Amino acid sequence: MEHWVRAAKEWIRSRSLPDARTGQPVCAFVYDLAGLRRHAAQTVEALPSFCHMYYAMKANSDKELLRVIRPHVRGFEAASIGEVRKALAVDSQVPVIFGGPGKTDEELREALQLGVERIHVESLHELRRLSYWSKELGREITVLLRVNLKVELPQATLQMGGRATQFGMEEADLDQAAALLSDSPHLRMAGFHLHSISNQLDAEAHLLLLECYIERAKAWNKLFRMEQITINAGGGIGVNYSDLERQFDWRLFTNGLRRLEKIHSLPDGPELRIDFECGRYLTAFCGVYATEVIDVKSNHGKTFAVVRGGTQHFRLPVSWRHNHPFDVLPVESWPYPYERPEAANYSITVVGQLCTPKDVFAEEVSVSRIRSGDIVLFALAGAYGWAISHHEFLSHPHPEMVYWKES
């Protein structure tokens, strides 16, 4: 746990203790920018050269993080025109790939005008609209067709394909897509988009899935006759929130990719390119949600630590129904004349300030000691934390955003 929360501890040590009587309790997202830089660099450097990494902005589109990630990735993946604009505001030259179901005509037109690198097309209707608008505006655009595969997918927390979902087109639609594309002079077909699962923790299973993607893409290419096939394998590389030291084996995975390249690159076959657009795996590790314990109390046989803030800042544990990993940072100072609430060697439920019993971060987790005034550090809060939360619920103050550059 220690190395995930080191930057947050350094920040807390560095700040002068607030005046006990007037200071606000600690409540912050602390982002370890040096750690993020190292992790992004190592992750991308391990990829073989036929693979490219994009960052899926929806995991966390904070511009400070985008700036750190930008030099290490090929580009950004945007899931709305708002994200396209944010990406270009960080770097007007960054390659942006644009996906997501339900793109409006306005979004398609603006994406064409802004010159995004590629659009991931989610349905035949979207393909027809893009064909129309690219011709109207006289803009050429490269497309990938997002396909919802007919396969048994490995177990993972969320499945976007392999079953009925709002994502992508059916394999059976590809005939029609090929016909539409051959009538669309402004569209350049480049391959397939196959983001199908989320939070995959098993590198071997993910390699098998990739192999299946490659085989399908080659078979579909009979309809398209591309000389280079791009397979966008999506994101979905998982983060282990319950066993922190056992994370996705990226080294094993990238070595496996080299093996796949050897097996599948035939001298007379199409050239293969694999793109990844990872969100969670790139930014989860660099963030900590740090928050001060306000009260410790028991009722009906359970002990609760109530912290500043709540799941309106950090909704991930509620959304995934898991116990979020945390550390307790002891704070010795207690300048008050009244008793300090505490629990020792106890099973604790950590909750926020919201008036709903769903505002729970972790349930019945054993801690050696927790006191009012201590600080709880929730690790792995850099992705899908603040970004997915309902900030205005109950109108409590927002957390501080800390961008820690040292260490």
Ligand X SMILES: *Cc1c(COP(=O)(O)O)cnc(C)c1O
Torsion angles phi and psi, residue 156, rounded to 5:
-155, 175
Give the shortest CB-232-to-ligand X separation in angstroms. 8
Nearer to ligand X, 279 or 287 (CB): 279
Catalytic residue among 51, 278, 286, 355: 355
Give kind and range of the element (H or E) at residue 34. Answer: helix 33-45
Give the shortest CB-380-to-ligand X separation in angstroms. 13
337: burial class by Cβ within 10 Å (0-12, 13-18, 19+)? exposed
Per the listing, tokens 């050897």 go with 262
Residue nearest to ligand X (CB): 235
3 state SS of 249: coil
278 in active site: no
Nearer to ligand X, 231 or 278 (CB): 278
The CA-atom distances, in angstroms, between 364 and each of 1, 72, 226, 302 are 19, 40, 55, 8
Nearer to ligand X, 9 or 52 (CB): 52
User: What is the contact surface with ligand X in residues (CB under 6 A)?
Assistant: 56, 58-59, 77, 99, 195, 198, 234-237, 277-281
Tokens for 208, please give them: 């098998």
Nearer to ligand X, 4 or 55 (CB): 55
Tell me if 330 sits within 8 A of 369, measured CB to CB: yes
Give the shortest CB-120-to-ligand X separation in angstroms. 7
Nearer to ligand X, 132 or 250 (CB): 250
Give the shortest CB-28-to-ligand X separation in angstroms. 23
* CB atoms closer than 10 angstroms to residue 378: 27
**Three-point CA angle 60, 65, 71, nearest 5°:** 120
Nearer to ligand X, 235 or 352 (CB): 235
Give the shortest CB-225-to-ligand X separation in angstroms. 26
Give the shortest CB-24-to-ligand X separation in angstroms. 32
**Distance between CA atoms of residues 289 and 310, nearest Å:** 10
Q: Per-residue DSSP letters for 269-305? A: SPEEEEEEEESHHHHGGGEEEEEEEEEEEEETTEEEE
Task: Give which of 199, 404, 238, 399 is closest to 314, Cα–Cα.
Answer: 399
Tokens for 140, please give them: 């050429």
Rg for the chain (alpha carbons), in Å? 24
Q: Provide the Cα torsion 213, 219, 224, 226; round to 10°.
A: 70
> Which residues are catalytic, by number?
355
